[in-house]
Amino acid sequence: MGDKSLSVTPKNNCQLSTVNCQLLTKSYGKVQALKGVSFSVDKGEIFGIIGPDGSGKTSLFRILTTLLLADEGTASVDGFDVVKDYKDIRKTVGYMPGRFSLYQDLTVEENLQFFATVFNTTIEENYDLIKDIYSQIEPFKTRRAGKLSGGMKQKLALSCALIHKPTVLFLDEPTTGVDPVSRKELWEMLKRLKNQGITILVSTPYMDEAARCDRIALIKDGRFLTIDAPENITAKFNQKLFAVRGFEMSRLLNDIRSIPTVKTCYAFGDSHHVTVETGNNDSQDSVQEALYLFLIYKGHTGLEIEAINPGIEDCFMELTKAEAI
Amino acid sequence: MKVITAENLTKKFGSFTAVDHISFEVEQGEIFGFLGANGAGKTTAMRMLCGLSKPTSGKGMVAGYDISKNPEKIKASIGYMSQKFSMYEDLKVWENIRLFAGIYGVPEKEIGHRTDELLRNLQFESQKDTFVKSLPLGWKQKLAFSVAIVHEPKIVFLDEPTGGVDPAARRQFWELIYQAADRGITVFVTTHYMDEAEYCNRVSIMVDGRIDALDTPRNLKDRFNASGMDDVFQRLARGAKRNSD
């Protein structure tokens, strides 16, 4: 991994980036949640941390928001050290944890008022920043937070995380279990916040949300697999990739896997994505032709095969495969 | 053969109509995707089909039984798995299988043999004595699915089964679904992953308690001139009047 962004950032670069981590590790008993994570986030970026449950996303967020101490390594947010200057960080960042953690027995307005007061400000002072989001739940401002729907709870939590005008916003899995329409709305809100100069760190298990971020880190088992702009990550995918469709998708999957030159074959929505071992002289057309003939021979109908560009999910699987070896 | 039929199935809570006259049929061995925004009424509909909640009006037949008259028969003919509740963390793998097989009414003398078979199919024999809490999430979910069909039910209901697992594990999970469907088990599944909607033979999309679209993914994409199921979903669900949940 010669990737520049993975290397440890020199100290004198600290001012340029809002978040800086160097070789963070964290263990819970025998479980190593973070195995030496280093990265930096520039001011005004939307930085996505993308990986499955249990990969270390929440531990990382809790360290950066000073709620958890790392075993080793250093981290700073806005130039403040997460250990020494934890009080400063708590004043300047906004954090929306994965689990709803507002006061269920307070009303919408009381919750917002409470967070404003804790941060020494008022709703009026920063109303502009939250107006977009808060105005959608304002009609229900006398309702108790516990009685809100999932989507409304999320909007309230985001309003509370923003009420003190943070420089950096940490959102831990804001879209998990949320339907596609609400997910899209949330990403649109984040984009508007970015335009107001707020740096955003957001984690998600949904690979298709990668494209919404300026840069992403793919994380698995406490380790970053890669850090880059989503389009650079997909550009680095160095396999020939084909999408194959047919009328019998389940049998097709097994038959493709039985081909000796096929390296991987995974179901991907309406097609199967296939990578193939190729010699230097094999043209894309000849590989495609060979696949086609084999599958016809196996009795498949309705076949469509095309060479395609990979998505982030293809890359994630390719990178985790490489890790496993 | 039809294993699910719903005719004008409706559920009201006071003045609120959670499920509003839905009608559809599901064939044996079909993978049926039951989609909808949060709050569209999916869970309420699914609870009625599982015999856990009586419809206010309308009729439903599941596995040959009437959901209003024979809910207990339905419970014995189906399997159920959700992301939130699947297995007992403090029991070992084999203990969970044994427990659920017993609950699902698998005869005592068959349980041992079914347990071995289930573990062999998953190539998981070596983990027989592992506590479920120490398994990776992907494994938990594969195991939970296998346990939900340990009694070879006619239908298995899956409520957002794959949330949070890594992409490879998510696909292995779907391969288990395919295998079950190939054996004739009907799979009724909800998901927020729109690529998974593509794995279904047919999908329905609920909006504000109604089924606004029901067809094969391919036909739905054609009809809405959409590139993917996400696009189809966005167009239908954007029109929702209800606030989520």
The verdict on A177 touching B (C-beta cutoff 8 Å) is yes
**Percent of chain A at pLDDT exceeding 70:** 93
Q: Residue B195 is nearest to which of A55, A179, A269, comparing CB atoms?
A: A269
The verdict on A211 touching B (C-beta cutoff 8 Å) is no
Residue B233, pLDDT score: 92
Residue A323, pLDDT score: 58
Mean pLDDT, residues A174-200? 90
> Is B132 within the bounds of a domain?
no
Look at B37 and A179 and tell me if their CB atoms are within 8 Å: yes
* Residues in A touching B240 (Cβ below 8 Å): 181
Query: What are the pLDDT digits (tens) for B120-174?
Result: 999 999 999 999 998 888 889 999 999 999 999 999 999 989 887 888 888 889 9
Query: What are the pLDDT digits (tens) for A46-83?
Result: 999 999 888 999 999 999 999 999 999 999 999 999 99
Closest chain B residue to the Cα of A314, Cα to Cα: B167
A20 burial via Cβ count (<10 Å: 0-12, 13-18, 19+): buried
The verdict on A5 touching B (C-beta cutoff 8 Å) is no
pTM for the predicted model, two decimal places: 0.85
User: Which domains does chain A carry?
Assistant: 4-228 (3.40.50.300), 241-309 (3.30.70.2070)
Residue A182, pLDDT score: 84
The domain in which residue B59 lies consists of 2-86+155-237
Q: Residue A220 is nearest to which of B39, B166, B197, comparing CB atoms?
A: B166
The verdict on A150 touching B (C-beta cutoff 8 Å) is yes
Query: Comparing B203 with A181, which gets the higher pLDDT?
Result: B203
Look at B163 and A177 and tell me if their CB atoms are within 8 Å: yes
The verdict on A253 touching B (C-beta cutoff 8 Å) is yes
CB A181 within 8 A of CB B238: yes
Look at A52 and B165 and tell me if their CB atoms are within 8 Å: yes
Mean pLDDT, residues A126-141? 91
Residue A6 pLDDT greater than 60, yes or no: no
Residues 13-72, chain B, touching A (beta carbon < 8 A): 36-39
Query: Comparing B29 with B243, which gets the higher pLDDT?
Result: B29
Residue A2 pLDDT greater than 50, yes or no: no
Angstrom CA distances, A289 to A259, A307, B111, B124, stand at 13, 11, 49, 38
| Cβ count within 10 A of residue B233 | 27
CA angle (A44, A47, A49) in 5-degree steps: 160
Look at A180 and B237 and tell me if their CB atoms are within 8 Å: yes
Which structure tokens are listed for A62? 């809790």
Look at B198 and A150 and tell me if their CB atoms are within 8 Å: no
Residue B245, pLDDT score: 46
Among candidates B83, B199, B93, which has minimal Cα distance to B150?
B93
Residue A321, pLDDT score: 81
Query: What are the pLDDT digits (tens) for A212-230?
Result: 999 999 999 999 999 999 9
Mean pLDDT, residues A19-46? 96
Q: How far, in whole angstroms, is CA B136 from its chain's centroid?
A: 21
The verdict on A35 touching B (C-beta cutoff 8 Å) is no
Residue B59, pLDDT score: 96
Mutation for A interface: B31, B83, B192, B229, most A CBs within 10 A: B192
Q: Residue A182 is nearest to which of B164, B199, B244, comparing CB atoms?
A: B244
Under DSSP, the state recorded for A104 is: T
- Average pLDDT of chain B is 92
Angstrom CA distances, B214 to B35, B196, B210, stand at 10, 16, 11
- Domain count of the fold of chain B: 1
Residue A4, pLDDT score: 45
Residue with tokens 């070896």: A325
Residue B82 pLDDT greater than 50, yes or no: yes
Residue A14 pLDDT greater than 70, yes or no: no
Residues 186-245, chain B, touching A (beta carbon < 8 A): 192-199, 217-218, 228-230, 233-234, 237-238, 240, 243-245
Query: Comparing A96 with B86, which gets the higher pLDDT?
Result: A96
Residue B85, pLDDT score: 65
> Is B104 within the bounds of a domain?
no
Mean pLDDT, residues B89-96? 96
> Is B175 within the bounds of a domain?
yes
> Is B64 within the bounds of a domain?
yes
The verdict on A99 touching B (C-beta cutoff 8 Å) is no
**Secondary structure (3-state) at A100:** coil
Query: ipTM score here?
Result: 0.80
> Is B225 within the bounds of a domain?
yes
The verdict on A269 touching B (C-beta cutoff 8 Å) is yes
Show Cβ contacts of residue B49 under 8 Å, excluding neighbours closer than 6 positions. Answer: B4, B6, B60, B62, B67, B74, B157, B188
Residue B6 pLDDT greater than 60, yes or no: yes
Please tell me the least confidently modeled range out of A172-186, B15-29, B191-205.
A172-186
- Average pLDDT of chain A is 90
Residue A325 pLDDT greater than 70, yes or no: no
Mean pLDDT, residues B34-52? 92
> Is B100 within the bounds of a domain?
no
Residue B78 pLDDT greater than 70, yes or no: yes
CB A224 within 8 A of CB A6: yes
* Residues in B touching A249 (Cβ below 8 Å): 178, 199
Residue B33, pLDDT score: 96
* Residues in B touching A272 (Cβ below 8 Å): none
Tell me the C-alpha distance between B240 and B218, whole Å. 23
> Is B118 within the bounds of a domain?
no
Closest chain B residue to the Cα of A152, Cα to Cα: B244
We report the CATH number of the domain holding residue B231 as 3.40.50.300
Look at A180 and B230 and tell me if their CB atoms are within 8 Å: yes
Look at A52 and B218 and tell me if their CB atoms are within 8 Å: no
Q: Residue B167 is nearest to which of A53, A152, A207, comparing CB atoms?
A: A207
Residue B83, pLDDT score: 74
Q: Residue B163 is nearest to which of A149, A176, A208, comparing CB atoms?
A: A176
> Is B97 within the bounds of a domain?
no
Tell me the C-alpha distance between A285 and B143, whole Å. 41
